């Protein structure tokens, strides 16, 4: 599906800024910070515009947001069919994608125990990548 249709499918008004932000996120295999996103823009746009677009995409659950422990700048990620988490190297910052999620059953158990209705979670792992273990 092209970006234009994807926006329409979510009832988001088309603008070239929204198209560009979404297509950059969609093309990236790794989650991105606002600054990384801005650096990839072909047409410059104001940071406040980017923030507002990300808010819309989050609202519609087209992307996800994560706030890592360090550096604590938010990461935005296009939501694909495979739910995934990140393993972040605390030395070099490299992000390793971990496909799948270990929390399905756990969330149900917690719902049963607490009576909360759980609708999402934030999980990242932190450690040292193979490369940084050597150097």
Residues near its own copies (CB under 8 A): 65-69, 72, 74, 87, 89-90, 96, 98, 102-103, 106-107, 110-111, 113-130, 133
From candidates 53, 57, 62, 88, binder to DNA by CB under 7 A: 53
The answer to whether 43 and 21 have CB atoms below 8 angstroms apart is no
Query: Can you name the residues that pair with 22 across neighbouring β-strands?
Result: none
Nearest distance, CB of residue 65 and its own copies, angstroms: 6
Nearer to its own copies, 12 or 74 (CB): 74
Nearest distance, CB of residue 133 and its own copies, angstroms: 6
Q: Which of 65, 53, 67 is nearest to 10 (CA)?
A: 53
Q: Could you give the CA distance from residue 97 to residue 83 in angstroms, rounded to a whole number?
A: 10
Per-residue tokens: 125: 């792992």
The answer to whether 124 and 66 have CB atoms below 8 angstroms apart is yes
Site string for DNA, 76-115 (x = CB under 7 A): ----------------------------------------
Site string for DNA, 4-43 (x = CB under 7 A): ----x---xxxxxxx---------------xx-------x
Q: Which of 37, 39, 17 is nearest to 28 (CA)?
A: 37
Per-residue tokens: 58: 């989050």
Nearest distance, CB of residue 115 and its own copies, angstroms: 4
């Amino acid at each position: 599906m092209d970006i234009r249709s994807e926006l329409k499918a979510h009832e988001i008004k088309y603008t070239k800024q929204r198209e560009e932000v979404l297509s950059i996120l969609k093309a990236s295999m790794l989650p991105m910070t606002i600054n990384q996103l801005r650096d990839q823009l072909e047409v410059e746009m104001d940071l406040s515009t980017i923030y507002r677009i990300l808010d819309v995409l989050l609202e519609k659950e087209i992307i996800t947001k994560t706030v890592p422990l360090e550096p604590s700048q938010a990461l935005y990620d296009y939501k694909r069919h495979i739910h995934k988490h990140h393993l972040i190297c605390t030395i070099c910052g490299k992000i390793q994608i971990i496909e799948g999620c270990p929390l399905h059953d756990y969330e149900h158990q917690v719902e049963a125990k607490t009576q909360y209705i759980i609708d999402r979670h934030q999980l990242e792992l932190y450690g040292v990548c193979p490369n940084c273990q050597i150097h």
